[in-house]
């Protein structure tokens, strides 16, 4: 299957600072990338969908000013958690799809964010 | 929107036994149903998928069945091994939307 690389795998930051998470599709061009958040022992919750070159579409209840998403190229999307607080601590996972409709979505390794 | 329910939430089997995980979906327009395996601290890994024009698909010890009429699909793992222990998620997708995930099943294979 295709490879999606997410970096960093773990990050600890202080309250009030911003953290950037990168998601790269290594061997295919991703027209669409998705960002998920996962709480312990729970399922993945979709945060936003991003298409290359356009603004991300955020799910209801997700603050777009808090979670900035940029999909500048067909192989890179970034999620920036701004002014992080302890409640933002979570496991963030990206996925990428090569085509727009009904194709396999490949996931990154995830990023464990801890805000202290 | 789509709603996917997954059962059971936990499943414990003896090594060599079979494991079955079931999911139901609500949107009859959904037409792609992947299954993911997630190990602790890692992202989900696609293990098998099925499209709505197929009723069954098999890949070695793993198989997925789909009943469009009843709107449910199942994952079957035969000859389970300890390394199969993980959390398994089913998902469904409709059109251009993102995947909707089930709540997950924690599979424990006892050696």
Residue B106: closest CA among A73, A69, A41: A41
The whole-number pLDDT of residue A2 equals 79
| Secondary structure tally for chain B: helices H, strands E | 0, 11
The residue whose two tokens read 């970096």 is A7
Q: What is the pLDDT of residues B57-99, one digit of tens each?
A: 999 999 999 999 999 999 999 999 999 999 999 999 876 678 8
Tell me the nearest-neighbour CA distance from B93 into chain A, angstroms.
7
Tell me if residue A90 falls in helix, strand or coil. Answer: strand
CB contact, 8 Å: A1 with chain B? Answer: yes
| Cα(A44)–Cα(A38) distance, integer angstroms | 5
Chain A segment 60-99 residues within 8 A of B by beta carbon are: 91, 93, 95
The whole-number pLDDT of residue B96 equals 64
The residue whose two tokens read 């996925």 is A95
Residue spans of alpha helices (H) in chain A:
none
Tell me the nearest-neighbour CA distance from A98 into chain B, angstroms.
12
The region, left, alpha or beta by phi > 0 then psi within -120 to 50, assigned to residue A16 is left
Q: What is the pLDDT of residues B9-67, one digit of tens each?
A: 999 999 999 999 999 999 998 989 999 999 999 999 999 999 988 899 999 999 999 99
Q: Which residues of chain A have pLDDT under 70?
A: 1, 99-103
């Amino acid at each position: 299957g295709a490879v999606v690389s997410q970096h960093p795998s773990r990050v600890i930051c202080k309250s009030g600072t911003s953290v950037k998470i990168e998601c790269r599709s290594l061997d295919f061009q991703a027209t669409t990338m998705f960002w998920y958040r996962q709480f312990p022992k729970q399922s993945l919750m979709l945060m936003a969908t991003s298409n290359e070159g356009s603004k991300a579409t955020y799910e209801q209840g997700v603050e777009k000013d808090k979670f900035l998403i940029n999909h500048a190229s067909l192989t890179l999307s970034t999620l920036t958690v701004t002014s992080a607080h302890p409640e933002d601590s979570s496991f963030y996972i990206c996925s990428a799809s090569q085509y727009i409709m009904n194709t396999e979505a490949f996931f990154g390794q995830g990023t464990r964010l801890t805000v202290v | 929107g789509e709603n996917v329910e997954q059962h059971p939430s936990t499943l414990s089997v003896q090594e060599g036994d079979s494991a079955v995980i079931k999911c139901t979906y609500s949107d009859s327009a959904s037409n792609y149903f992947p299954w993911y395996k997630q190990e602790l601290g890692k992202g989900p890994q696609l293990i098998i998928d099925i499209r709505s024009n197929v009723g069954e698909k098999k890949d070695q010890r793993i198989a997925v069945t789909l009943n469009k009429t009843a709107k449910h699909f199942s994952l079957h793992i035969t000859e389970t091994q300890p390394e199969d222990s993980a959390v398994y998620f089913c998902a469904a997708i409709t059109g251009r939307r993102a995947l909707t995930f089930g709540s997950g099943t924690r599979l424990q294979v006892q050696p």
